[in-house]
Amino acid sequence: MAPIRNDVSRRGLMLVLSSPSGAGKTTISRRLLDRDPGIAMSVSVTTRPMRPGEVPGRDYFFIDLPTFDRMVDAGELLEHARVFGNCYGTPKGAVEDALASGRDVLFDIDWQGTQQLAQNARDDLVSVFVLPPSGAELERRLHTRAQDSAEVIAQRMAKASDEISHWAEYDYVIVNHDVDESVASVEAILRAERLRRRRQVGLPQFVKGIQQAL
Ligand SMILES: Nc1nc2c(ncn2[C@@H]2O[C@H](COP(=O)(O)OP(=O)(O)O)[C@@H](O)[C@H]2O)c(=O)[nH]1
Ligand SMILES: Nc1ncnc2c1ncn2[C@@H]1O[C@H](COP(=O)(O)OP(=O)(O)O)[C@@H](O)[C@H]1O
């Protein structure tokens, strides 16, 4: 898809992807980031152990519980939640810097975090829920990822129904049958949301320029 020309300055938006674990949001996010330099990923802090293949600072900042609690107390997190017995949160600074420089920020966070962003920044938020094609396919994907023990996978399957129950709180819902199709759908959402009149803060000046030349 051809990029939108940047002749009208625009306010960055916050694009949230949520799904039950294993539905494919990490895969979709990585593709979006590779294809569009206008998107910055929000890297969360977490107290959960690092998985094989994960890179600190790219996938998460891995921290201990006292450090997490200190960040909450200092107001350094935009939102935070407990998921699967571990703590997760979004550091404020990086998000604010990216938005200020006109970039969009992509968040891989759960429904609790999405609700907090909706309360604090509804105008900037675009939320997308990713569903698996079926329960059996979700379980297959959790197994093929091969990064969690059988016990952890069972725990994630048990929590899937809880996460899925929040689908109707999202602006958009996609069923992730095929990664390419899903990435194209999210790019279409992003393109339309970038063109919303209220986000194109440079429009009055741009239109004035046209009118002056008429
Ligand atoms: N609220 C909130 N949720 C997060 C954050 N970071 C990750 N999560 C969510 O925590 C859940 C577990 O993430 P993770 O342990 O990486 O496993 P995954 O589901 O396989 O991606 C997922 O639903 C993530 O979207 C965060 O900063 N805030
Ligand atoms: N559309 C898809 N079709 C088949 N496999 C997929 C698809 N999307 C993701 N996967 C695979 O499913 C597993 C879980 O995907 P991941 O992106 O880690 O999910 P999440 O971040 O939602 O937990 C990975 O092994 C990934 O390669």
Question: How is residue 50 written in tokens?
Answer: 């690092």
- Are 115 and 169 a contacting pair, CB within 8 Å? yes
Ligand 1 contacts CB of residue 104 (under 6 A): no
Per-residue pLDDT tens for 26-83? 999 999 999 999 999 999 999 999 988 899 999 999 999 999 999 999 999 999 999 8
CA–centroid distance, 198 to ligand 1, in Å, is 30
| From 77, 110, 149, 165, mutation site for ligand 1 pocket: most ligand atoms within 8 A of C-beta | 110
Measure the CA–CA gap between 102 and 94, rounded to whole angstroms.
Answer: 13
Per-residue pLDDT tens for 185-212? 999 999 999 999 999 999 999 999 999 9
- Are 77 and 85 a contacting pair, CB within 8 Å? no
- The closest of 197, 148, 170, 113 to 21, measured between CA atoms, is 148
Per-residue pLDDT tens for 91-143? 999 999 898 888 999 999 999 999 999 998 899 999 999 999 999 999 999 98
DSSP state of 44: P
Atom of ligand 2 lying closest to residue 28 CA: 17
Here the ipTM equals: 0.95
Quick check: 159 pLDDT over 80? yes
Residue 27 backbone dihedrals phi, psi, to 5 degrees: -60, -45
Measure the CA–CA gap between 117 and 183, rounded to whole angstroms.
Answer: 23
CA–centroid distance, 212 to ligand 2, in Å, is 52
Ligand 1 contacts CB of residue 109 (under 6 A): yes
Q: Are strands 39-41 and 172-175 parallel, antiparallel or unpaired?
A: unpaired
DSSP state of 194: H
Cβ neighbours of residue 16 closer than 8 Å, sequence gap 6 or more? 107, 109, 113, 114, 117, 125, 126, 127, 128, 170
Domains of the chain: 14-200 (3.40.50.300)
Measure the CA–CA gap between 69 and 174, rounded to whole angstroms.
Answer: 35
Q: Which ligand is nearest to the CA of 61?
A: 1
Q: Which residue's CA is the nearest one to ligand 1's atom 17? A: 21
| Amino acid identity, position 167 | W
Q: Which residue has tokens 């006292």?
A: 66
| From 55, 109, 161, mutation site for ligand 1 pocket: most ligand atoms within 8 A of C-beta | 109
Ligand 1 contacts CB of residue 115 (under 6 A): no
- The closest of 11, 21, 2, 12 to 160, measured between CA atoms, is 21
Q: Is 3 annotated as a binding residue?
A: no
Atom of ligand 2 lying closest to residue 145 CA: 25
Q: Is 49 annotated as a binding residue?
A: no
pLDDT of residue 153: 86
| From 21, 27, 29, mutation site for ligand 2 pocket: most ligand atoms within 8 A of C-beta | 27
- Are 193 and 199 a contacting pair, CB within 8 Å? yes
